[in-house]
């Protein structure tokens, strides 16, 4: 026991001497701290920065603080995929806490009404940390920030808490933080080793940046598809914070960055004053970092363009979003170009700028409050000029996708209505019950513009992220802008997906059209239960209804289930999947009869999804998420490390997300498997690999852009301008091809962020999807790239031996919100034999 204490003493002595970790390193000695408030160390068992805090300990500390302090209340807003709590601390003076509902109401009222005097109102600051889990200095600093705000005792803190409501989100990505803490802690040496080659500094795939399904959650603030974002966006709209900060880390050899970012890359819908105020706030960061001798920069990198990022999303909602980026120690202590970078140093910079944010907030309180007040006042004026205008969207064949787009609006407090009656606009038919209409004259009109606009001209040609995200295009829904508000029906308040049902019991057959988003989920459930199901390769009509390509046929006779049980199962599945199944009593149709050979029996997919080294984890995670959370499809995550010992004959479909390369023996093994009858579906750069390794014959088109009159200084901008960061393009579809089953229009909007251009096949029927002559719908692409892209093809499907190779140049499952192209991928899986 004594020996243990001695060892503990020595180890902590070494750690302290290497890490300089005690509270005085982080917090000013001039302030007295309330002894009744527990320090982080007293609860989590180590000084902040000595170890990487695990999420469970972070939660434990925040509960202890909330218990001890009358300045803090705490809410658990829900769970991550791995069942971790999504906490939010509300920190303000005890007096404000007593009136917190009234304060919130007044704050929101000021965004709803003209002429509100905001001079005596507290400012609302949302401080969020480590949305990328392996950028942990933020969350680790949140322990100190919360402690400081709870325990500090001086006039300044009292003034700050009287004038500020702090919404402290200590960890924006609990699953990622936990994953990284495990890595950094399990590889830590007692004698810290700063050698960047040490295992501590190179995480295993997929790393801790992302959430459970490997999503970059700092792209999901606008589409809100993930549970972490859903909880956070609810808090955001509940409070409409004036300032929102987003604490990140960047490369080890950098210093510290605070916004504003590159001025020319600010979204044009963001008011100029937003960036000016951001810059003024920046002066407070500079002053605080000067005091502790930390290097920093601003305005030279990052941007405020894509509203799906945490530091940009507030800018279209009357707030000011601020990005912080700290050079990462990516472990406990790492050598860098700026000397040895310790974890505590990174934490201290985050804490310092979190505190300078609060200082700026109290100093600039009145200016920032009136900025928000005026933002909404001006927005109301813009909106009133469009008081008779509305946007309509919908799809009478696909209620679920329509619902999911409306769900995004709902999460962002955007009002929408049913339509009064069926009508046609923009050449599209909108059907009551299957369409929603959004009046432009409402509070969040600017946010609506940011979601629905198409933009093809830009001030700059470089983007930190995607340059377009037009939501109705992402959902591949019919829509029309500038329709009349005369079409407005009842406002949708109680918001539910459509009911599904079986029209009537049959002893003959059931039919289900393939257009509905969840039809593949239902099919998968049928195939899992061994229900024989066929697909129609041609359209037909019966009982005054047209059945399109891809209609599913479930015969009643000769199934494992008897008629009664089959009917019960279909009823259950129709309800669960919100689809309409028709019972029919004859095989005679107008078109192919139900016994026709043009109905093909479908086979249960047995899927392996390649993951691991060499594979882009985002792309793999999107597919895993799609299968697991949307379609209840079980796929084996086959690691590239274990292909060599896996029996591939267990699978009829192997999906290869974006991949750089694969070793020779695994390549051979995969090829033999395809030749033997497997279907390989590859995305993005995998297409290049498939061509190179002769899985598929393709011809690529290339741009040939020569640098003329481009100086050395302009080199990176010149090259950057040839990148397609993410834009939306139009393609025509051959609806008779099974890859396109379930699409009712002959044009589709496709997301693209690669420069893989496949030349169209000389046989036109081999080009089921082809970019149009002028394909740009929204977003940035250079002229040379656009010229080359025109009339190329985004997918090619070719035989290899008895098997098939499906090559997609781009991601059909982008960031979980590109609902519109999921079906292309699912068609490749379920109709693989018919392609």
Q: Where along the sequence are the contacts to Zn ion (CB under 5 A)? A: 132, 135, 248
Least distance CB 210 / Zn ion (angstroms): 11
- DSSP string of 100-124? HHHHHHHHHHHHHSTT---TTSPEE
Least distance CB 296 / Zn ion (angstroms): 16
What SS3 string covers 380-417?
Answer: HHHHHCCCCEEEEEECCCCHHHHHHHHHHHHHCCCCCE
Least distance CB 341 / Zn ion (angstroms): 17
Least distance CB 58 / Zn ion (angstroms): 18
Q: Which is nearer to Zn ion, 246 or 481 (CB)?
A: 246
Q: What angle do CA 504, 510, 514 make, to 5 degrees?
A: 115
Q: Which is nearer to Zn ion, 248 or 285 (CB)?
A: 248
Q: Which is nearer to Zn ion, 249 or 481 (CB)?
A: 249
Radius of gyration of the chain (CA): 29
**What are residue 246's DSSP bridge partners?**
128, 323
Q: 678 near 651, Cβ under 8 Å?
A: yes
Q: Which is nearer to Zn ion, 248 or 521 (CB)?
A: 248
Q: Which is nearer to Zn ion, 465 or 548 (CB)?
A: 465
Q: Which is nearer to Zn ion, 248 or 752 (CB)?
A: 248
Q: Which is nearer to Zn ion, 250 or 535 (CB)?
A: 250
**What are residue 88's DSSP bridge partners?**
75
Nearest to 828 by CA among 768, 760, 749, 762: 768
Least distance CB 217 / Zn ion (angstroms): 10
Q: Which is nearer to Zn ion, 212 or 417 (CB)?
A: 212
Least distance CB 134 / Zn ion (angstroms): 9
Q: Which is nearer to Zn ion, 132 or 285 (CB)?
A: 132
Alpha carbons 299 and 572: distance in angstroms, whole number:
56
β-strands 435-439, 417-419: how paired? antiparallel
Least distance CB 216 / Zn ion (angstroms): 8
Three-state SS at 129: strand
Least distance CB 330 / Zn ion (angstroms): 12
Q: What residues have CB less than 8 Å from 97, skipping those under 6 apart?
A: 70, 71, 73, 90
Q: Which is nearer to Zn ion, 218 or 235 (CB)?
A: 218
SS3 content of the chain, % helix, strand, coil (to 5): 40, 20, 40
Instruction: Write the CA distances from 308 to 105, 236, 311, 316, 465, integer angstroms.
Output: 26, 14, 9, 10, 10
Least distance CB 325 / Zn ion (angstroms): 7
Least distance CB 323 / Zn ion (angstroms): 9
In the complex, residue closest to Zn ion by CB: 248
Tokens of 609: 């999804």
Burial 574-607 (b: 16+ CB within 10 A, else e): beebbbbbbbbeeeebeebebebeebbebeebeb
Alpha carbons 123 and 606: distance in angstroms, whole number:
55
How buried is 239 (Cβ within 10 angstroms: 0-12 exposed, 13-18 middle, 19+ buried)? buried
């Amino acid at each position: 026991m004594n020996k243990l204490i001695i060892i503990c003493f020595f180890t902590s002595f070494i750690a302290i001497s290497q890490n300089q970790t005690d509270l005085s390193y982080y917090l000013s000695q001039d302030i007295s701290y309330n002894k009744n408030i527990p320090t982080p160390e007293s609860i989590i068992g180590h000084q902040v920065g000595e170890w990487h805090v695990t999420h469970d300990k972070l939660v434990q500390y925040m509960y202890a603080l909330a218990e001890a302090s009358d300045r803090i209340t705490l809410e658990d807003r829900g769970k991550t995929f791995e069942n971790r709590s999504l906490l939010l601390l509300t920190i303000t003076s005890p007096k404000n806490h007593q009136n917190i509902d009234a304060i919130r109401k007044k704050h929101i009222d000021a965004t709803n009404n003209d002429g509100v005097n905001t001079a005596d109102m507290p400012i609302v600051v949302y401080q969020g940390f480590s949305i990328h889990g392996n950028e942990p200095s933020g969350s680790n600093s949140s322990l100190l920030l919360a402690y400081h705000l709870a325990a500090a005792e001086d006039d300044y803190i009292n003034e700050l808490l009287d004038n500020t409501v702090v919404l402290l989100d200590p960890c924006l990505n609990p699953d990622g933080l936990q994953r990284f803490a495990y890595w950094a802690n399990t590889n830590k040496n007692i004698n810290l080793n700063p050698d960047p080659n040490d295992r501590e500094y190179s995480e295993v795939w997929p790393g801790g940046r992302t959430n459970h399904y490997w999503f970059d959650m700092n792209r999901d603030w606008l589409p809100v598809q993930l549970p972490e974002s859903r909880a956070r966006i609810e808090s955001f709209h509940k409070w409409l914070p004036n300032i929102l900060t987003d604490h990140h880390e960047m490369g080890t050899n950098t210093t510290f960055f605070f916004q504003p970012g590159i001025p020319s890359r600010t979204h044009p819908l963001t008011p100029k004053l937003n960036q000016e105020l951001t810059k003024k706030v920046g002066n407070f960061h500079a002053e605080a970092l000067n005091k502790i001798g930390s290097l920093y920069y601003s305005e030279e990198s990052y941007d405020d363009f894509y509203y799906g990022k945490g530091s940009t999303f507030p800018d279209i909602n009357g707030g000011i979003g601020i990005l912080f980026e700290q050079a990462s120690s990516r472990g406990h202590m790492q050598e860098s170009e700026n000397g040895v970078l310790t974890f505590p140093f990174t934490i201290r910079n985050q804490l310092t700028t979190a505190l300078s944010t609060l200082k700026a907030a109290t100093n600039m309180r009145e200016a920032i409050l009136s900025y928000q007040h005026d933002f909404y006042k001006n927005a109301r004026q813009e909106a009133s000029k469009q008081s008779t205008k509305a946007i309509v969207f919908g799809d009478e064949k696909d209620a679920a996708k329509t619902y999911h787009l409306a769900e995004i609006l709902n999460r962002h407090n955007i009002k929408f209505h049913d339509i009064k009656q069926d009508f046609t606009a923009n050449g599209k038919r909108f059907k009551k019950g299957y369409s929603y209409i959004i009046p432009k004259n409402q509070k969040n009109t600017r946010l609506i513009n940011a979601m629905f606009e198409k933009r093809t001209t830009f001030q700059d040609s470089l983007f930190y992220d995607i340059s377009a995200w037009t939501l109705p295009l992402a959902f591949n829904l019919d829509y029309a802008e500038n329709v009349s508000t005369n079409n407005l029906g009842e406002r949708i308040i109680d918001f539910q997906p459509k009911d599904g049902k079986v029209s009537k019991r049959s002893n003959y057959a059931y039919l289900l059209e393939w257009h509905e988003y969840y039809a593949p989920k239902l099919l998968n459930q049928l195939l899992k239960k061994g229900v024989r199901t066929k697909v129609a390769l041609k359209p037909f009509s019966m009982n005054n209804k047209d059945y399109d390509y891809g209609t599913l046929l479930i015969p009643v006779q000769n199934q494992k289930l008897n008629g009664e049980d089959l009917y019960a199962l279909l009823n259950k599945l129709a309800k669960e999947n919100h689809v309409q199944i028709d019972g029919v009593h004859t095989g005679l149709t107008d078109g192919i009869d139900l016994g026709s050979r043009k109905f093909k029996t479908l086979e249960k997919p047995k899927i392996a999804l390649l993951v691991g080294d060499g594979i882009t984890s985002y792309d793999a995670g999107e597919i895993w998420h799609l299968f697991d959370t949307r379609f209840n499809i079980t796929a084996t995550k086959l690691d590239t490390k274990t292909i060599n010992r896996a029996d591939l004959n267990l699978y009829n479909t192997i999906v290869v997300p974006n991949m750089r390369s694969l070793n020779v023996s695994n390549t051979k093994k995969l090829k033999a498997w395809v030749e033997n009858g497997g279907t390989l579906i590859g995305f993005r750069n995998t297409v290049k690999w498939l061509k190179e390794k002769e899985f598929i014959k393709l011809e690529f088109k290339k741009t040939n852009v020569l640098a003329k009159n481009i100086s050395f200084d302009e080199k990176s901008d010149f090259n950057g301008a040839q990148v397609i960061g993410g834009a939306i393009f139009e393609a025509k579809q051959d609806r008779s091809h099974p890859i396109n089953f379930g699409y009712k229009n002959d044009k589709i909007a496709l997301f693209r962020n690669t420069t893989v251009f496949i030349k169209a096949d000389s046989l036109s029927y081999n080009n089921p999807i082809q970019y149009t002559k002028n394909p740009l719908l929204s977003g940035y692409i250079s002229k040379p790239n656009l010229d080359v892209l025109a009339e190329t093809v985004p997918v090619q499907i070719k035989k290899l031996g008895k098997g098939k190779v499906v090559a997609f140049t781009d991601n059909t499952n982008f960031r979980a919100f590109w609902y519109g192209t999921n079906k292309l991928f699912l068609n490749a899986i379920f109709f693989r034999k018919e392609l």
